[in-house]
Amino acid sequence: MTVITNHMPTAELQALDAAHHMHPFTANGELSQKGARIITRADGVHLTDSEGNRILDAMAGLWCVNIGYGRDELAEVAARQMRELPYYNTFFQTTHVPAIALAAKIAELAPGDLNNVFFAGSGSEANDTNIRMVRHYWALKGKPAKTVIISRKNAYHGSSVGSGSLGGMSGMHAQGGLPIPDIHHINQPHWWSEGGDMPPEDFGLQRARELEEAILEFGEDRIAAFIAEPVQGAGGVIVPPDSYWPEIQRICDKYEILLIADEVICGFGRTGNWFGSETLNIRPDIMTIAKGLSSGYAPIGGSIVSDEVASVIAGDEFNHGYTYSGHPVAAAVALENLRIMEEENILGHVRDVAAPYLKEKWEALADHPLVGEARIAGMMGSIALTPNKETRAVFAAEAGTVGYICRERCFANNLVMRHVGDRMIISPPLVITPAEIDVMIERASKSLDECYAELKKQDLLHSA
């Protein structure tokens, strides 16, 4: 067999990739014509591709490389742990030091009585755990009819059968028989697209009250939980109006239901606190975590569970778990990641340096003729591309056409900025410096200019 290395010509690697590798969330037929971009190494906030381009990664991989690429400490810890104890499970009354230490550390960082951690290998798995845990919780409390979980349209909670059902992505529901029964989706607090003539704060209240309407419609005795991301990520970095979360919290407090905050993106510093729930003043019973927990250096996720819920679950055998729940190498890497975050005061860097600087620069992009709103929450931001700012119009071209053109300009300018439909989003490593933010904004502006010119050329600057 040939040895496949970084030094093979790009075209050969692309051909092998096209022949054997099925990519997630990709039209693989189309990609195999074009050839995938091949990333060979990374350091700090930069990726290097197989052609030697140095690309600023304004997405931190998939929202996860919070401490930046190339941290040797994490490699050292992984190697040490692999030599000492590469694997053992946490089933059958057994445990090991990395799982113990990481659970204790997470309990220390999490607010309130969120003191208990159930480990998973990813955010999707953790949300699958949550579905089973909240339903089992109510069954143990003698209320087995409380099975309905309320979520939101355009939410992202993962891609497995359970978590994809919790999510509210219509494109995902259209494939593979989703959603599973007893998942109900209310509307999202997306003022720019759906707020019409309402003031944003009134709209936020109205969308929050859909939760109360759904609870009353099903009956409180049928509802197990409400799940939401503090700030929607994959849906387009949708920062809710300020009125939204206090009203959601009031409703969750009034009725006997559990609140699950999906912190997979917002957790571990993205919004300037350890958890987005702290930034938005939310008091969840369960938090979903993954991504930034290990800065993406190893696959690990989990559910942080309140003392109340954990004590009820402890009353019976919970017939659930993953071979890699609390995997020692992943747990050791996550623990080292959290150590670095604390020792280097990365939250302080976000709060005092990076987030205020980014906010000023990002919001200034709203002056560009293509940009309607520019929203930011800590270190996650979005801009809405529009042919008409005053009317918040959408493009006549199919949704995503313009966003895709903009994203391709970004790549050409050595910037990774993602598009969700015609919204451009960023979520850079938390360690990004003001000088690097300047470069990122400069490349984003240049890409917007080029996108604008391209839209004129292709006659796409029309409202639907």
Ligand X SMILES: *Cc1c(COP(=O)(O)O)cnc(C)c1O
State which residue, 365 or 376, has the beta carbon closest to ligand X.
Answer: 376
State which residue, 50 or 325, has the beta carbon closest to ligand X.
Answer: 325
Which tokens sit at 68? 């930046």
State which residue, 234 or 440, has the beta carbon closest to ligand X.
Answer: 234
- Kind of pairing, strands 39-43 and 46-49? antiparallel
Q: Which stretch binds ligand X (CB under 6 A): 108-116, 121-129, 240-248, 322-330?
A: 121-129
Per CB under 6 A, 122 contacts ligand X: yes
SS3 of 42, please? Answer: strand
- Least separation in angstroms between residue 367's CB and ligand X is 30
State which residue, 247 or 262, has the beta carbon closest to ligand X.
Answer: 262
**Residue 94 near residue 314 (C-beta atoms within 8 A):** no
Residue nearest to ligand X (CB): 123
- Least separation in angstroms between residue 351's CB and ligand X is 22
- Least separation in angstroms between residue 90's CB and ligand X is 19
Per CB under 6 A, 327 contacts ligand X: no
- Least separation in angstroms between residue 158's CB and ligand X is 4
- Least separation in angstroms between residue 414's CB and ligand X is 25
Residue 232 β-bridge partners? 238
State which residue, 290 or 338, has the beta carbon closest to ligand X.
Answer: 290
Residue among 106, 280, 290, 313 that touches ligand X (CB under 6 A): 290
Q: Is the peptide bond before 179 cis (omega within 30 degrees of 0)?
A: yes
- Least separation in angstroms between residue 316's CB and ligand X is 27
Binders of ligand X among residues 175 to 234 (CB under 6 A) are 229, 233-234
Binders of ligand X among residues 150 to 169 (CB under 6 A) are 156-158
**Residue 188 near residue 235 (C-beta atoms within 8 A):** yes
**Residue 295 backbone dihedrals phi, psi, to 5 degrees:** 50, 25
> Rounded to whole angstroms, what are the CA distances from 250 to 53, 199, 270, 281, 284?
50, 21, 25, 12, 12
Size of the site for ligand X (CB under 6 A): 16
State which residue, 166 or 394, has the beta carbon closest to ligand X.
Answer: 166
H and E: helices and strands count for the chain: 18, 15
Per CB under 6 A, 301 contacts ligand X: yes
Integer-rounded Cα radius of gyration of the chain: 22
Binders of ligand X among residues 233 to 252 (CB under 6 A) are 233-234
Residue among 262, 278, 336, 422 that touches ligand X (CB under 6 A): 262
State which residue, 44 or 61, has the beta carbon closest to ligand X.
Answer: 61
- Least separation in angstroms between residue 125's CB and ligand X is 7
State which residue, 245 or 395, has the beta carbon closest to ligand X.
Answer: 245
- Kind of pairing, strands 258-262 and 223-228? parallel
- Least separation in angstroms between residue 266's CB and ligand X is 8
SS3 of 300, please? Answer: coil
Q: How many Cβ atoms from other residues are within 10 Å of residue 15's Cβ?
A: 14
State which residue, 157 or 368, has the beta carbon closest to ligand X.
Answer: 157
What are the contacts of 71-75 at 24+ separation with CB within 8 A? 71/295, 71/297, 71/340, 73/336, 73/340, 74/295, 74/297, 74/333, 74/336, 74/337, 74/340
State which residue, 386 or 427, has the beta carbon closest to ligand X.
Answer: 427
Per CB under 6 A, 123 contacts ligand X: yes
What are the contacts of 201-204 at 24+ separation with CB within 8 A? 201/241, 201/242, 201/243, 202/243, 203/241, 204/240, 204/241, 204/242, 204/243, 204/244, 204/247
DSSP string, 322-347: -TTTT-HHHHHHHHHHHHHHHHTTHH
Residue 228 β-bridge partners? 261
Looking at 230-289, which runs of residues are DSSP E strands? Answer: 258-262, 286-289
**Residue 187 near residue 227 (C-beta atoms within 8 A):** no
- Least separation in angstroms between residue 64's CB and ligand X is 8
**Residue 406 near residue 451 (C-beta atoms within 8 A):** yes
Residue among 50, 81, 124, 188 that touches ligand X (CB under 6 A): 124
State which residue, 128 or 210, has the beta carbon closest to ligand X.
Answer: 128
Residue among 172, 264, 305, 376 that touches ligand X (CB under 6 A): 264
- Least separation in angstroms between residue 95's CB and ligand X is 23
Per CB under 6 A, 436 contacts ligand X: no
Q: How many CA atoms lie within 13 A of 29 on its CB side?
A: 0
State which residue, 14 or 232, has the beta carbon closest to ligand X.
Answer: 232
Q: Which stretch binds ligand X (CB under 6 A): 120-128, 137-145, 199-207, 382-390?
A: 120-128
- Least separation in angstroms between residue 265's CB and ligand X is 4
- Least separation in angstroms between residue 165's CB and ligand X is 13
Give the separation between CA 103 and CA 123, rounded to whole angstroms.
16
Q: What residue ranges bind ligand X (CB under 6 A)?
A: 122-124, 127, 156-158, 229, 233-234, 262, 264-265, 290-291, 301
